[in-house]
Every structure is written in structure tokens, then in C-alpha cells.
Amino acid sequence: MNGMRGTNMIYKKFDSFSLSDEIKKALHVLDYEIPTEVQERVIPLALEKKDLIVKAKTGSGKTAAYAIPICETVNWLENKPQALVLTPTRELAIQVKEDFTNIGRFKRIKAAAIYGGHPFSIEKTELKQKTHVAVGTPGRVMDHIRKGTLPLSMISCLVIDEADRMLDMGFIDQVEEIIKELPDDRVTLLFSATMPQEIKDLSLNEHRIPTQIDIHEEGSLTADIEHSLFITSEEDKFDLLTDITIMENPDSCIIFCSTKDRVDLVWEQLKKMNYRPEKLHGGMEQTDRNSAIRRFKRGQYRYLVATDVAARGIDVDHISLVINYDIPMEAETYVHRTGRTGRAGHKGKAFLLATPSQDRFIRQIEAFIGFQIKERAVYEKTEVSKARLIFDKKIKAAPEIKQLKSDQLNKGIMKLRFNGGKKKKLRATNFVGVLSNLEGMSAEDIGIITIQDTLTYVEILNGKGPMVMEAMSHTTINGKQLKVTKALDKY
Ligand code: ADP
Ligand code: MG
């Protein structure tokens, strides 16, 4: 953790904020004990409903900086969305939604992710049910606004995450359009790693003056990440890549390529060599992309070959090695790619492969990051063959499956399905009322409730599912005896 913090700061605990027990408990399960600097600055002001423009580097804990105060202030009883989070990519939308679900777990916060490539009708149905927080990409959010399927009247907080990336991807006009549709009295929180003029010029809200927060994390890019440069030819690159993997023998490694064809090629070659690699690029189906990330996060695969789709926002615990197989054309991309490692105080390595003619790009990157990347000689073949034995052993061995934080939170959760919903005039409060009055149950044991026309899904926490299922087979809700079964899908 220390790596995320200034050295002469007094460590504050999350307890020092005025947060409810439900939120504190979730932070504890997530192992968030000490707020990061951006969290320490943002949370108190966001709780006071101040507009904020926050400049902070990648990996500094921005998501929780806004998700914690939003989960805290959301009114559970309200059915319409109260917060809207805009993210530049689909992957990030899904991840932020998961972060909200994790942090809001014990308050039963319902978050929905809406993004292009995801069935609109499913999103429409989801948004019709209780949704506290909507997280989405600008294009799809605008679609929902136009079709009237995303009610905005109760939105009291707008978050613009990765604003600089929105600008790069040409989404900033859409963001401005969305801003215009929102109620005037809402809070706006903008987060960005850099502050180009176009972002400073964004008219967030003419009625409110935002507070600027600038998080300087001195040397954050060097403190936890060891940067190295290898000069090689295009022909020798793949051999160098395998030499690096053999010598480093990483537990978890991302290999960045410039295009999806390059990803396919490197992935194919590594696959032939039994690396069991995973791949990720924008040409893949969304469901394949999601499951690739999930499997990689769980540690089912040690190697992920990816385009920059994976560079932004995606958070995988403990990536030990990032390889820039193709040098990024933009210095900022280098920061985002390498920012996948050395996160949350862990150490990481970032290797950059470049050809002699790419010198110009190296200089650009170095100017941007403010230090010289140490050049290393390629490995001696004898060294590599010595390391090979241990490497082969690890490649053949089954990887250690990591427990995702959400798995930890999902432990002890059972989802029950009741054969009655809106048509029987049932509401979430009816379920909370009856379930929390069962012997041995309290409101804290009830998770997310989803009411559909003829069905209701209720998550029961803390291992009390079987007990509740038994009790509800002979307990009525609103005078109705419902059939209760264990839901097949977890989500
Ligand atoms: P950013 O959006 O600034 O790039 P994230 O919000 O994705 O960063 O957070 C980076 C990592 O740090 C994530 O793995 C997150 O779970 C972890 N993290 C965030 N806040 C804390 C905290 N207070 N204590 C420990 N880990 C944290
Ligand atoms: Mg982020």
C-alpha cells in the first residue's frame, strides 16, 4: 500500500469518513483499509455534494473515490437512476459496474452497465427495474436518452471517468450533449489523468463552480515499476519475446500489440508453443472479450495478448510484467499500458521492445514520462537455455486460480426466485419486510432484489439462503404464498 502514498503523510483509515456500516463493511471485505490520496481528497468533498475536477494518474484508485460517496448517498428506495457514470470503453463500463456492486453490496446497490454491442432490449428491461447507478459509454447512453429508456429526472450525480480518453476517442461532443439533458442541480465529478484545454473548457454546469483537485504522486511511475528498453529488429522480436518470458517467468503478463492482426499473430505463435495465451482486441465479440478478461483476472491464463482495448482502466490484480511488443505511437498510451502493473503498491516490470528506426517514439515517451528508460542488452542464449527448465515446468503446471474480490463477496450468497412480481403488486419493500422478520434474519442478510413482471429474484447473504428458502415455502408475502426455488444463474 505504501507505494500509493506520499511518504510523510499520516495514514488515515476509511473510518474517519462519515460512512455507513454497510459501506465500511464492504470496504473491509475488499481489503481497502487506507484510502489512497485521491480517495482521501475526493470522498469528503463528494459527500458534501461539491462539483469536482480531478486530475490523477491511472492506478490511483479513482473508481472508489467516486463509487464510495455515490453508494453512500444513494437513496435505496428510489427506483430511477440517481447517478450516471460515463466511461470511454465497454470494458471499463463493466468493471465500474462491478466495483459499484462490490462497494454497494451490503446496501444492495443495483448498478447497470449500458454499452454498444450489448443487447439494447436487455438494457431497457434492466433500466425499467430498480437501478441506482447507470454506467455506460456515451453513444449508448445517448441512445437510451433519445428513446426515453434511461430516465434522467432523478440523476443527482454525473461522473465523467477518463475524460482525456473520451476526448481522444472523439466522444467529447456526445458527453456535452448528455450533460445538457441532465437536471441542473446535480453534482458533476470529472476524472482525468491529463488536463488538455478541451477538457478544461468543458461546460459542466453553468450554475456551479467546480473545485479543482490535482493529485501529484511524485515518481508514481517509477516507484513501483521497473522500466526497461530492448532494441531489436522486427525479425528477432518474437524470439526476444520468448526469451523475456523464459527469463522473467511471470505469473501474469500482458503483451501489447499495435493492431488486432498483430495480436492474432502473436497469440497464434504463443499458442503453438503451449503458452496457453488469452487474447483481447476490438474485433472480438463482446462476450468473448468479457470472458477473456474474466479468465485472465482469475489467473486461469498467465499471458494476455492485447491491443490498447486492454490498456485503459482494466484492473487486474498483480500483473507482474507488461511487454510493449509494439511501441505505442503516443506517449500517453505508454503510461496507460505500463500502468497495468505496479498497481496498489505492488511491484511490476515494464519492457519496451523497439526497432532502431523507432528512436523518435522512444524520445517522445521519455519526454512525457520525464525520465530515461534503461536500455538492456538482449539475453545470452546460454542464460536462456538454463532458465528454460524452470519455465517449462511452470508453463505445464496448472496456474493458481485467484479469487476475485467479487467472488469473495459472493461467497455465502444464494439467489432465490419467487414466482410473483409486479403483476401481483409486489414491491421490494414487501420482500425486505417479510424476509428480515424471519427467525435469524435481518435486513443485512438481504442482497439485491430484482422485481420483474411475474418473477422476483432476491439475493440472500451470509449463507442463510437455504434457511430462507425453507421458511418461505410456508410464509406469505402480502397474503400470497409464492413458490420459491433456487435461481439457476447467479446474475
Ligand atoms: P484508477 O481508476 O485510478 O486507474 P482504480 O480505481 O482502477 O484506479 O484502482 C486501482 C486498484 O487499486 C484497483 O485494484 C483497486 O481495487 C485498488 N484500490 C483502490 N483503492 C484502494 C484502497 N483504498 N486500498 C487498496 N486497494 C485499493
Ligand atoms: Mg479508472
The reply to whether ligand 1 has any atom less than 6 angstroms from the CB of 58 is: yes
Q: CB of 64 within 8 A of CB of 137? A: no
The reply to whether ligand 1 has any atom less than 6 angstroms from the CB of 64 is: yes
pLDDT for 344: 60
Task: Report CA(121)–ligand 2 centroid distance (Å).
Answer: 28
pLDDT for 19: 93
Ligand 1 nearest-atom number relative to CA 405 = 16
Ligand 1 nearest-atom number relative to CA 313 = 4
Q: How far is CA 462 from CA 15, 447, 480, in A?
A: 23, 10, 26
Picking from 214, 230, 246, the residue at the C-terminal end of a domain is 214
pLDDT for 10: 43
In this structure, is residue 224 part of a structural domain?
Answer: yes
Same domain, yes or no: 193 and 227: no
In this structure, is residue 451 part of a structural domain?
Answer: yes
The reply to whether ligand 1 has any atom less than 6 angstroms from the CB of 59 is: yes
**Rounded mean pLDDT for each run of 10 residues along the chain, 491 residues in total:** 36 79 89 85 95 88 96 95 95 93 93 92 93 97 97 97 89 93 94 87 81 72 79 94 94 92 96 91 83 82 86 67 93 82 74 94 87 90 89 79 66 88 89 88 84 91 88 90 82 40
Same domain, yes or no: 102 and 195: yes
Q: How far is CA 126 from CA 49, 112, 134, 146, 488, in A?
A: 27, 7, 10, 17, 18
Q: What length is written for the chain?
A: 491
Same domain, yes or no: 243 and 387: yes
**Residue 191, strand partner residues:** 54
pLDDT for 11: 47
Q: CB of 92 within 8 A of CB of 314? A: yes
**Domain range holding 449?**
412-486
In this structure, is residue 3 part of a structural domain?
Answer: no
Same domain, yes or no: 125 and 161: yes
Same domain, yes or no: 417 and 399: no
Same domain, yes or no: 138 and 24: yes
Same domain, yes or no: 356 and 225: yes
Q: CB of 397 within 8 A of CB of 469? A: no
Picking from 73, 14, 58, the residue whose alpha carbon sits closest to that of residue 39 is 14
In this structure, is residue 1 part of a structural domain?
Answer: no
Distance CA 337, CA 58 (A): 10
Picking from 340, 371, 405, the residue at the C-terminal end of a domain is 405
Same domain, yes or no: 68 and 146: yes
Buried/exposed 345-375: b ≥16 CB within 10 Å, e otherwise: ebebbbbbbbbeebeebbebbbeebeeebee
User: CATH no. for residue 416?
Assistant: 3.30.70.330
Ligand nearest to the CA of 14: 1
Domain count, the chain: 3
pTM of this prediction exceeds 0.85? no
User: CATH no. for residue 78?
Assistant: 3.40.50.300
In this structure, is residue 6 part of a structural domain?
Answer: no
In this structure, is residue 9 part of a structural domain?
Answer: no
Ligand nearest to the CA of 339: 1
Task: Report CA(373)–ligand 1 centroid distance (Å).
Answer: 26
Same domain, yes or no: 236 and 197: no
The reply to whether ligand 1 has any atom less than 6 angstroms from the CB of 60 is: yes
Picking from 383, 405, 427, the residue at the C-terminal end of a domain is 405
Pairing of strands 414-418, 456-460: antiparallel
Distance CA 481, CA 1 (A): 51
**Residue 190, strand partner residues:** 53, 160
Same domain, yes or no: 262 and 284: yes
The reply to whether ligand 1 has any atom less than 6 angstroms from the CB of 188 is: no
Same domain, yes or no: 192 and 319: no
- Please list, in sequence order, all residues whose beta carbon lies within 8 angstroms of the beta carbon of residue 194, skipping any fewer than 6 positions away: 55, 164, 332
pLDDT for 217: 59
Q: Tell me which of 28, 343, 346, 403 to substitute to probe ligand 1's pocket, judged by most ligand atoms within 8 Å of the beta carbon.
A: 343
The reply to whether ligand 1 has any atom less than 6 angstroms from the CB of 279 is: no
Q: CB of 391 within 8 A of CB of 246? A: yes
pLDDT for 490: 46
Backbone angles phi, psi at 446, to 5 degrees: -105, 130
Ligand nearest to the CA of 165: 2
